[in-house]
Amino acid sequence: MTTAEEAGRLRQRYARRHVLARVGLYLTAIVAALICAAPFLWSLITAFKQNRDLYNPQNNPFVFNRPPTSDHVGYLFTDTEFLTFVANTLLVGVLVVLITLALGLPAAYALARLDRPWSGPMAIGIFLVYLVPPSLLFLALSRIVVAVGLQDSTWSLVLIYPTITIPVSVWLLMGFLKNIPKDIEEQAMVDGYSRVGAFVRAVLPLAYPGVIAVVVFAFTLTASEFIYALAFVAPTDQMSVSIGVPTQLVRGDVFFWQSLQGATVLVAVPIALVFTWFLDRFVSGFTMGAVKE
Amino acid sequence: MATTADAVTTPATAPARRRLADRDGLLAWGFLLPSIVYIVALVGVPFVLAIAFAFSDVTAGDPSYDFVGFRNFTRVFQDPVFWRALGNTFVFTLISMVLIVVLGKVLANILVADFRGKWLVRFLVLLAWTTPVALSSISWLWLLDSIYSPIDWMLRQFGALGPAENVYWLGRPGLSMASVIAVHVWRLTPLAAVIMMAGLMAIPKDIDEAARVDGAGYWRRMFEITIPLVLPVAAVAALFGAIFTFTDMAVVRVLTRGGPNDATQVLASWAFYRGIDGGDVAQGAVIALFLFPLLLAAAVLILRAVRRIEVR
């Protein structure tokens, strides 16, 4: 057997293997995406169904047996305070993200870069704070919320949510900051900046992926939170999405299924779009650290 | 005081400000203090208050504080539902964690691969995690509905169920636990996948290529290179999964409210029922308090595991 023949056969084998691998990849990707998104696809169909179509167990649930209607999604905008819930969620989310960054960035910098003897234990301590579950603090916090006069107000959530987001964010940011080479601030300080100046001008811009990660992470946590929102906010016009939708569209035993599903999709899609948009940056931030080792 | 521009051009002329801003020790405290004050005020104080509640007779109707010693603890320990919730919490967490880590690894491999339509796949996968849990759980509640569940409809089409039969996903003890775990795993796997994706992308390409040149096949590379290198990151993903699973009761609350017959009751939801729905603040506090040492143990274990792997 000549070497040319052998090479040709090998090449064929590799080509076949390559095609098989691609087919397998596409198949698993499609299956995974379908399983992950199944409830949302189902929500999307449900949201536009007529009652007579929806509440007939004989009907194929995946197709429109009667013409689709936008009545139930319209109901969400005209007859409920859905838009108020969205506005409240955005307000709380943005403010919580700002507070988290304002407090978390300096704290993470101090723990990751200033080399104090206590920074290791302190970092673990802050991380452990994250383990204290809302269901444990809920009762006591509700007293504190009343004491500062924020009961029944969206502002109570702005006050409380950073307790969840700061510990995670400090932990995340420490990872990002540790992996920026020390020479960068030393260079900046040689150039005449103070330590604070070097932090703001030289280190922060490089920590940008970490900041993005924190923004996305903190916003997602805030928008998802359930127990505190349920506990502190009773008036409808102060509710966030995660509590307003379930309480206002489920009246006793009556579920407004189509409107509920419509609301889920309307909330889910924008957040997931933003997250997908930033995913590579988010991940590359984590990765920078591991490569350095 | 010198302006910033002066400080850049003539650093020596700005001594007062420089000295203050360069004292690392002082600066470290200055940077850290706002966060510490915040956490002490809104986590530390309520935490101590919660412990105090556990030794009191505080109820929703009678908020005045009286110390009662360990009475609440003995009463909670005598309650069979507490032990059931404790057992459920372990079952729930263990099974969820194993599934989340394994499926997260598979999903991470898909997310890092290069193919057409990758953006859409990523978007669809991330939906599960980025949606507020109360809303996605409601989607599932409808998906697992006792009469209109499309899963039952499909089973009927395949003849696995009789024409008018239903599975009652949330109405039978074993099935409802399986449903709650499935929804929880579905929701957290994308998060684990994103964390592991970071780990996968951090593996230097040359190691993988060198192994490929040496003739190592896919599975060999998977078990001898990829998995050992991803292990620390996987451990972190597991830690996060465990924390969320231990403390989260949103899925249980929305799907089953702990039922049927407390079959899906976990510690967090049981504390909520006793403390808030039932108004017995003191007993709720005792049950909730029980979460903390378990969490602490899990965290210490996994942090130690991560460190050991990093050292090697």
Among B26, B31, B18, B22, smallest CA distance to A110 is for: B31
CB within 8 Å: A275 and B186 = no
CB within 8 Å: A139 and B276 = yes
Q: What pLDDT digit, counting tens, does each position of A30-67 carry?
A: 888 888 888 888 888 888 888 878 787 777 777 788 88
Select from B119, B132, B285 the Cβ nearest to the Cβ of A276.
B119
Please give the pLDDT value at position B11: 47
CB within 8 Å: A192 and B107 = no
Select from A114, A133, A242 the Cβ nearest to the Cβ of B135.
A242
Q: How far is CA B5 from CA A9, A204, A206, A217, B9, in A?
A: 69, 19, 22, 36, 6
Percent of chain B with pLDDT over 90: 2
In this predicted structure, the answer to whether residue B311 has a pLDDT above a threshold of 60 is: no
Q: Which residue has the tokens 């942090």?
A: B303
SS3 of B6, please? helix
For the stretch A277-282, contacts whose Cβ atoms lie closer than 8 Å and that sit 24 or more positions apart, written own/partner, are A278/A212, A278/A213, A278/A216, A279/B122, A279/B126, A279/B194, A281/A209, A281/A212, A281/A213, A282/A209, A282/A212, A282/A213, A282/A216, A282/B194
Q: What is the DSSP code (8-state) at residue A250?
A: E
Q: What pLDDT digit, counting tens, does each position of B289-305 carry?
A: 888 777 777 777 767 76
In this predicted structure, the answer to whether residue A25 has a pLDDT above a threshold of 90 is: no
User: Which runs of E-coded beta strand occur in chain A?
Assistant: 250-251, 254-255
Q: What pLDDT digit, counting tens, does each position of A131-151 carry?
A: 777 877 877 888 788 888 888
Q: How many CB pairs under 8 A join A and B?
A: 292
CA nearest to B298 within chain A: A131
Helices A119-129 and A162-178, packing angle to 10 deg: 140
Q: How far is CA A230 from CA A99, A240, A242, A256, B273, in A?
A: 22, 9, 9, 20, 14
Mean pLDDT across the stretch B64-89? 85
SS3 of B10, please? coil
Q: What pLDDT digit, counting tens, does each position of B121-166 carry?
A: 889 988 888 888 888 888 898 888 877 888 888 888 887 777 777 7
pTM for this prediction: 0.81
Residue B207, chain A, CB below 8 Å: the answer is no
Mean pLDDT across the stretch B78-92? 88
Percent of chain A with pLDDT over 70: 96
Select from A42, A119, A124 the Cβ nearest to the Cβ of B150.
A42
Q: What pLDDT digit, counting tens, does each position of B164-192 carry?
A: 777 788 878 888 889 999 998 998 888 88
For the stretch B222-230, contacts whose Cβ atoms lie closer than 8 Å and that sit 24 or more positions apart, written own/partner, are B226/B200, B229/B199, B229/B202, B229/B203, B230/B105, B230/B196, B230/B199, B230/B200, B230/B203
ipTM over 0.85: no
Q: What pLDDT digit, counting tens, does each position of A218-261 carry?
A: 888 888 888 888 878 878 888 888 888 888 887 777 788 888 88
Q: What pLDDT digit, counting tens, does each position of B12-45 carry?
A: 445 555 555 567 778 888 888 899 899 998 888 9
